[in-house]
Structure 1
Amino acid sequence: MLSDIKLTSGIGQYHTNEPDKAIRTPYLTIGIDDIRCLVDNPQVVDKTQAQWLIPSTLPSRNFKDQEQNGQYFMLWVDLDKNPPPLTDLAAIMETVLGGADYESYNTSSATAENQKARILIFLDQPLGFAEWNLAQEILNDKLEALNIIPDRANQRSAQLCYLPNKGQLYRSQSKREGVFFNPLLIWAKEIDSKQQMLEVERLALEVQQRITMAKKTALKLSDAPNLIGAFNLAYTVQEWLLSAGYAQRGNSFRHPHSESGSYSATVKDGRVNALSSNDPLYTDGKGAHDAFSVYATLFHRGDIGAALTTAGNDLLTIGAISYNKALQIEWANSKTDTEQNKQHANNEPQPFNLAKFSLNGSSKKMRDQMLEDVFVLPDIALLGQATVIYAAPNTGKTLLTLHLLIDGIKQGCVGGNDIFYINADDTHKGLVEKLELAEQHGFNMLVPRHKGFEADQLSGYLGSMIANNDARGKVLILDTAKKFTDLMDKKVGSKFMESAREFVSKGGTLIMLAHVNKHKDAEGKSVRAGTTDLVDDGDCAYMLDAVSESDDIKSVLFSNFKNRGDVASELGFTYSTAKGQQYVSRLQSVKQLNEQQHAAAKQAKSIADQMDRDSFTINAILEVLNRSDMLKTDLVDAAHKESCISKQKLNKVLFDYCGSDFNRGHRWYIIPGNKNAKVYSKLGHFQNMKKASADDYRRAKGL
């Protein structure tokens, strides 16, 4: 019976009984009933003393032993990146598992803000490693498709799965109806597809191997500019990996000294990229290895000179002689050229002249390639330009971008088939809502990790569109830009914008949504997050600021700070922020401000910005007025004593925010006293100002 199955277990990460270890302790075992008991009554111990399991009955922590002989009776999931609550996961697992039993629980490091969790799924029959590994991968794929990101370390053959251990937040959710999971039946199509994909990847590398073998046999000195180029024509990356003892799975490889068992090196386009820092080929993101680099690193410990000598003498041949010998013969023959021939006028380099770069005569062709001034986002973003829109979270940048985009489609400015909205920063619910809008209005919705689309490959996709002359008229909207490039890295950001600039130069359109910093500048204005590359290399840039919010209506203002066309300098909108409404209802609530409303919104923003700059001083005065009404001199003295703000600053702020209109920024008013004395009182319906920061304090004191 499955209830009698005992999985390998231990206490703490250093518990081992492997023959090559100095300190050995026999492994424990744990059954399904014991696991369920721990789910209901979790241990409460430090992680160093926490119990774990390996979902195999083989008593070993050696990944090679598990891959060869392990019998697996459980799939599992480790969720560390803000997963949904267990109650929501329950509905998801019901669908993913087709009604099978499972155990789910919060991990010891779970908090209310990040409800980390694990899910255990018992199998109705044992699986060998190959089938189990595919099932684990499919399980992870299914969750990731729902924007639930698992830790894929669970695909390793001997990865430790820690059992329930109560921390700050612990809840559990179980289904125990005696229905154990059969992935070979439920996921038969997915498993077959994975197996076929691995075989296709393997065959692709095999075909590449045959092509290079043919090139190696027919190699000529003229085929490549140097020995390294010739080596890369004659050899593949994978043959040197296999020669060095790497294990292969499709187009992925595992280095022979791996401790985790992960196939962490991937071969693509004739290069290998290693992700494990224990792999000799690991470069820490500084580039992938070609065949020669692999050979030099693995067989000559990175000694390029030694690798060149051996390769030229022993590994490459031109006809019946070695590459180095053929190179020597060619050099000797070239010495027979006379000095007169070398100095022949036809062979002399022409003097440098800037005129060869002149574009004169190309104006008609370039004009034909120009796009008319057509708005993609009415009054905001022009066709054939790179536009960036900055905004703080919850300002409405996605909502307003979609509103403007749909308006542009309705007006016939652009065709939906040429618009690609890339939604890379959303929940699963948000994705579905926006996908329905895309389907309704006929534009394309792309999402990373869905249907093979990858955010980090965007520059490559742009390059393909440019190479295929397919960029003209295409509109890409990136929501948000930080998902496609590292905005904090000047070199990476600049490289990305080089691709973007070339895409736009070929007639493409790029609209990028981006974030601002949490803290504003000394003038109370929003500050763009990251480097300046998006703006420097873009054509148009806007800042979207919230101006006001009352009665569940938010007012926002687009302010342009860079343009290369007839775009609006400012544009205002309102939309509903009422709780509980559907996204489509919120979208329908968007309204553009008329001239009068726009002026009012602009004034409100000016008042809000000024109040933001004066918030520390305003709070200091209100702290005193909260206790009682007070004469001006006494009020200034008390506020100065408590806050150390200068009396000059206090007097100015006292004057600026005195009046009876709360919406115009007034926070206190004057009650006439005896003998024309000015008694200040706090204005009613006051809403607390933002919490003052250190920057506010320095501004108030004039530092």
Structure 2
Amino acid sequence: MDMNIPTAAAFCTGFGQHDTHKDTGEPYDKVTFSDIVAMAENPPQTPKAQAQWTIASRYCGWDARVFEVQRDRGEFGLIGLDFDGTAEQPANSAKEIGAALRAVFGEDATRLYYSSSRATEANPKSRVLLPLADYIPGRDWSDTMEAIHQLLEEHGLRPDPALERAAQLIFLPNRGEYYRHSLKGVAPVDLTPDHPVIQRREANRAARLEAERAAQEERVWKAAERRARFHETGLESPVDHFNKAHSIEGLLGRYGYAARGNGRDWRSPDSTSGSFALRDYGEYWVYMGSAMDDVGRKSAAGYPTGDAFDLFVYHEHGGDYKDAVRSYSKEAGLRSEPVAKPSIAESKVVPPGDERRADVPRNGGFGRLESNAAFMARLEPSDYLVDGICEKGMTYAITGFTGHGKSSLMLYLMLQVATGKPFANQEVEQGSVLFLAGENPDNVRRQWRALCLAHGVDGYDLPVFWHDGAFRISQSLDALEAEAAKIPNLRLIIGDTLQAFFEGESDNDNVSMLNAARNFRSLSRAAGKPTVIIPAHPAGKKADKGNLVPRGGGAFMNEIDGNYTCWREDEIVTMHWQGKHRGSYFEPLDFAMPEKAFPELADTKGRQHPISVVTHLFDSDKRRRAQEAMRKETDALRAIHANNKISEAGLADALGASKSTARRIKERLIKDGLVKKYARKLELTDEGLEVLSDAES
């Protein structure tokens, strides 16, 4: 049969469930679709413990069996389906599978069907492989397989959801007592943007984003209601107490929900469709189906949503909210009066510090109409932390590549706010600062001390507060807000970095990125409306001045108020903005970031290592620093011309600079076409020779 199959495509393969290369560090072998077809025609008869398997990805490194690795590095070229029935509910027959596959993928789709080693005539367990016309990135694989499974379920099939995991093993043909196989179709599956699978995948993503947004907003206001009630009565909420003591995942297991392979999606025991329509977000859940209309509450998006307590109310108290509150209060020894179940439509409770907007509906739904005068009465003038640059109550990112000084620049801003001194010649409102040191806090300690020493500030008595290490903001929001409320005159919160505090599985997932933005934005609503700034890494490993937006989904940028940028050239760091900025336009701001050594920060052997510290680059300094940069470039050209095998350490010695500075100068000379690199040598170009000649003369 003449089939247009990418036969050269090779996928990760191994032997037996316990085949792991983490100790040897060796890559896995590869297997092609043609190899698998040949196996199906003449299958081996091997014990399951030694049976051959594949992961449908062409990433075959030693860590290829790690889910996160395949999600980040994998490229998938085979759709694998597993139909593994039970005695009570046997697997789908070959005829049923073939009809459903033709309906979803078309008559021409190439599909290899083969029985599993434990198949019987009564329970024809089987697997199907469909080669793809193009590879699917690992970050899209789980969502794509979920869409495929949903479409097949709608045609009566029951595929094993475990194969939605990016590193799940697919066992290859292995003859058992009952074996059948067939090869149908003439073309690989082409998942174009208008294919039903991709349409379903994107519809799922959009629906989840909207459902999650509405559910998160609902969660915030439910918590606000309970906090307000606590302030009025001084009684701990039984709901909060229950949710702290019980996880959603644990309750779902207790109440008979079935987990899908990705571990986040669950099937209700009341579901008639068999779909895994409930997604667990840790602190709350969203159900995108009809089987749980009586559980929790409907969000503004129309989907049932709730927390662990709502599951308890439904499954153990028949939906009686008051009875559940009374029962759990007694069980936990809490003093509490039962309260009416809160209504979304009637909710007008406002978190402390936001009383001026008490008439605005909190559920994202319809509230009440108001006159133009009433609406505009809430207009307030912009209030700046740093005049003309950072507004109070706003949430910003600052994006820069590693080594470009974003954390150093934020530490400098923190120093200026804590001392009330100007930042970039602009007036600063003095106040306290909270720094969440999520990424490399040991290095942040050293940088902060070096900055204080460079500016002649003691530092220990400044109104600066810290959190050492990353944590899950979504699960600690109430505690964090309570601690922040104790800080007097809080003006600035820095969350270092976005990636350190990111809680999702993939920063290409818009829902997860939206969650991250909203977690940080919630901090800007604290008393005094502090400015929140989040240092972030951009996409890509190669430094590119045109790519200075936070890595990940666009939902993050949509949610924040602006994205500052940080770009370093030698000892000059430029701060500007890219992609989005709400507020006054400002010209690029230049800062000096020289490397300084401090005796107080010497290592255990007494060596003083240079540390980059920031001081504002005044206009009068620019010409001198530009001339200094030009001199160093000329010195670098001279050193390379004299020794074309010069190392970075040797170049640093010749320049009287650090290795990192020498590396940046070398890379800039190459980028500007003054130096070319071949093998392990450097050589001046004709233009480089001309520049050096002009400088010498």
TM-score range, shorter chain: 0.3 to 0.5
Larger helix proportion, structure 1 or 2?
Answer: 1
Per the normalisation by structure 1, the TM-score is 0.36
Task: Pick 1 or 2: higher relative contact order, CA cutoff 8 A, min separation 6.
Answer: 2
- When normalised by structure 2's length, the TM-score is 0.36
Larger Rg: 1
